[in-house]
């Protein structure tokens, strides 16, 4: 390799490196711009990411429990609070996807459904969302797995999964 060749390769690498940096900068700017634009309203529930805890009445959390949306899909709204889940007991059908929306009205909680891989962190005012289909009917205990105070161990609720009709 003569001197001339080396320069050629160096130049090539310089171009490649510059192109990579340019892409990185553009992607970063894109992300910043994207996150800076506030989302406008909730056109549908799937964009529900945060709720105003002082005005839960204006959200589906006003009446926690199982609902069916316009498309017939099951949505389960739950509130975590020291030291209970609301609703404390709820019936859901087996074999249908259930989308759980949960938020905390006070401190950090966890929500874990036994016999499933559902295990989520629940932050005050932030809506956690998870979709799960229960295959087997039965009683599934729901517990808090983030220590939240003296009543933590009693923070339990029950999902009663029933054979779909």
Q: Which residues bind Cu ion (CB under 5 A)?
A: 109, 144, 148, 155
Provide, rounded to whole angstroms, the least separation between the CB of residue 77 and Cu ion.
17
Provide, rounded to whole angstroms, the least separation between the CB of residue 76 and Cu ion.
18
How far is Cα 162 from Cα 164, in angstroms, rounded to an integer?
Answer: 6
**Residue 109 or 127 with smaller CB distance to Cu ion:** 109
How far is Cα 147 from Cα 108, in angstroms, rounded to an integer?
Answer: 8
Residues 108 and 126: beta-carbon distance below 8 Å: no
Provide, rounded to whole angstroms, the least separation between the CB of residue 160 and Cu ion.
21
Residues 6+ apart with CB under 8 A from 139: 158, 159, 160, 161
Provide, rounded to whole angstroms, the least separation between the CB of residue 62 and Cu ion.
21
Cis before 38? omega within 30 = no
User: How much of the chain is in helix, strand and coil states, percent to nearest 5?
Assistant: 30, 35, 35
**Residue 13 or 147 with smaller CB distance to Cu ion:** 147
Provide, rounded to whole angstroms, the least separation between the CB of residue 59 and Cu ion.
21
Residues 163 and 125: beta-carbon distance below 8 Å: no
């Amino acid at each position: 390799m003569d001197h001339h060749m080396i320069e050629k390769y160096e130049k090539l690498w310089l171009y490649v490196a510059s192109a990579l940096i340019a892409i990185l900068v553009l992607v970063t700017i894109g992300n910043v711009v994207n996150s800076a634009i506030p989302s406008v309203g909730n056109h549908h529930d799937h964009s529900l990411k945060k709720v105003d805890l002082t005005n839960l009445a204006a959200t589906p959390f006003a009446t926690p429990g199982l609902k069916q949306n316009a498309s017939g899909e099951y949505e389960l709204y739950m509130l975590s609070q020291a030291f209970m889940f609301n609703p404390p007991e709820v019936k859901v059908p087996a074999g249908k996807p259930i989308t759980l929306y949960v938020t905390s009205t006070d401190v950090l909680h966890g929500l874990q459904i036994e016999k499933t891989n559902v295990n989520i962190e629940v932050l005050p005012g932030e809506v956690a969302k998870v979709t799960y289909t229960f295959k087997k009917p039965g009683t599934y205990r729901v517990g808090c797995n983030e220590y939240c105070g003296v009543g933590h161990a009693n923070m339990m609720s029950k999902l009663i999964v029933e054979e779909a009709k």
